[in-house]
Copies of this chain bind each other. A is one copy, B any other.
């Protein structure tokens, strides 16, 4: 997350230039578990690439972690999916906004967040790998849903591109601290603290064409439980 209140505090060794943060290094995590947790928590990423004429382009897309890599999917009718499948360089940002950091000055006010930026290239998956990727993407959004629905037909598979982003570099930043106000601001009248942001699924609404007698499936019932809040 860009933020105005950082300072340069030294650089890590051995970090590729393109992922070496220029500032706020105290917030950088090199812990792969933090990255894995973030990818598991957040169902949507923002993928950036460069079009044929040099224009940067960012699109939101569903994601699913695949070991240390990431799965994406889209329609064969999407020119951007077709471009990604050619293996052009991509950047994938995955961000969870976890709350507000309310300081006593505008300058020190910020957010609680976890932010990953991944770099690599995509390749299209085929056959069993493609089916497994689509299942993983379905279950990433609604765990356990694959076992409850009709899986893709041959026609649907032919209309779908499944991609694996092989991650070459990554960086993660975590902001989870307390306001860091100047002493004179702490002595002043302003409140400071943290306001957590919580996401939840309070209800499930039947489709208008749902046939009578069909109740909520286990996957959706689990989503409605408070401990299954998504992030992002």
Give residues in A with beta carbon < 8 Å to B: 1-8, 18, 22-24, 43-44, 46-51, 54-62, 72-75, 77-81, 89-93, 95, 97, 99-100, 102-107, 109, 111, 113, 115, 117, 119, 134-135, 138, 141-142, 145-146, 148-153, 156, 159-161, 178-179, 181, 185-211, 214-217, 220, 223-224, 230, 232
By the criterion CB–CB under 8 Å, are B55 and A91 in contact? yes
Tell me the complex Cα distance, A138–B51, Å: 34
* Copies of this chain held together in the complex: 2
Least Cβ–Cβ distance between A92 and chain B, in angstroms: 7
Partner of A105, one of B48, B80, B152, B223: B152
Partner of A141, one of B77, B109, B142, B216: B109
Q: Which residues of B contact A224 (CB under 8 A)?
A: 195
Tell me the complex Cα distance, A209–B183, Å: 10
Name which of A185, A188, A211 has the most chain B CB atoms within 10 A of its CB.
A211
Q: Which residues of B contact A54 (CB under 8 A)?
A: 50, 89
Least Cβ–Cβ distance between A19 and chain B, in angstroms: 10
By the criterion CB–CB under 8 Å, are A150 and B188 in contact? yes
11 A-B residue pairings within 8 Å (CB atoms): A5-B156, A24-B77, A50-B50, A57-B91, A58-B93, A60-B113, A109-B149, A187-B211, A192-B207, A196-B201, A198-B201
Query: Nearest residue in B to A188 (C-beta to C-beta)?
Result: B150
Query: Nearest residue in B to A202 (C-beta to C-beta)?
Result: B198
Given A44-B97, A149-B190: 14 more A-B contacts, CB < 8 Å: A1-B59, A1-B62, A2-B61, A2-B62, A2-B73, A2-B80, A6-B75, A24-B75, A48-B91, A104-B149, A107-B152, A181-B209, A195-B223, A197-B201
